[in-house]
Amino acid sequence: MLIGLTGLIGSGKSEVARIFAKHGAFVVSADKIGRDVVEKNKSILRKLVQIFGRDIISKSGQLDRKKLGRLAFSSEKNKEKLNKIVHPALLRELSAQVKKAGQEYDFVIIDAALLIYWGWDKKVDKTILVDTILRKRIQRLKAKGYTEAEVKARTKFQPKLSDLSRHADYILKNNSTRKILKKKVENIIVSLTERG
């Protein structure tokens, strides 16, 4: 069974994915693929430097993801430029990983904020939306080094929660403890297993 996992930045998608993985699911992370694609594909990195400037490369020669993020999420136009460069390779790799995992695992989870934007909600069997209030998302992301302004800027350019909700088979509220979240995810796993 192919499950799409979506939600806004800081909603806890990765934590939900980890819970699924502990129950035997294979997780395909769009964020991880995106990082790998940029770091391993020199032509993509060159294009990013052409568009966003040499400052996105650290003194050690690595991509400074924070600087790129600040620039890319400073405007809709910049975000679209980033997506146009990265998404084709990301989606090819996502498809390849999903296909391979589907041959070996009963449950494959696609962890992707842009799942619906990419049209993958039509390719998955079920979609789970992780919904978390803004205050909690800011709190979580500040712990990861983001500023409140950065969180709000990134959220501004993500799909609307109402759009995500319309495509979701399950809406998973994540405003409480990890223990409660784990129980909610396990209930969804039981439901999916019974239907599957």
Domains of the chain in sequence order: 2-195 (3.40.50.300)
Q: For position 123, what pLDDT does the model report?
A: 97
Q: For position 196, what pLDDT does the model report?
A: 58
What's the pLDDT band for 150 if we cut at 50, 70, 90? confident
SS (H, E, C) the chain: CEEEEEECCCCCHHHHHHHHHHCCCEEEEHHHHHHHHHHHCHHHHHHHHHHHCHHHECCCCCECHHHHHHHHCCCHHHHHHHHHHHHHHHHHHHHHHHHHHHCCCCCEEEECCCCCCCCHHHCCCEEEEEECCHHHHHHHHHHCCCCHHHHHHHHHCCCCHHHHHHHCCEEEECCCCHHHHHHHHHHHHHHHHHHC
Q: In Å, how far are 7, 33, 35, 78, 101 from 4, measured between CA atoms?
A: 10, 15, 20, 27, 14
- Per-residue pLDDT tens for 186-195? 999 999 998 7
- Per-residue pLDDT tens for 6-64? 999 899 999 999 999 999 999 999 999 999 999 889 999 999 999 999 999 999 988 99
- Per-residue pLDDT tens for 73-95? 899 999 999 999 999 999 999 99
Q: Could you tell me if 86 and 49 are in contact, meaning their C-beta atoms sit under 8 angstroms apart?
A: no
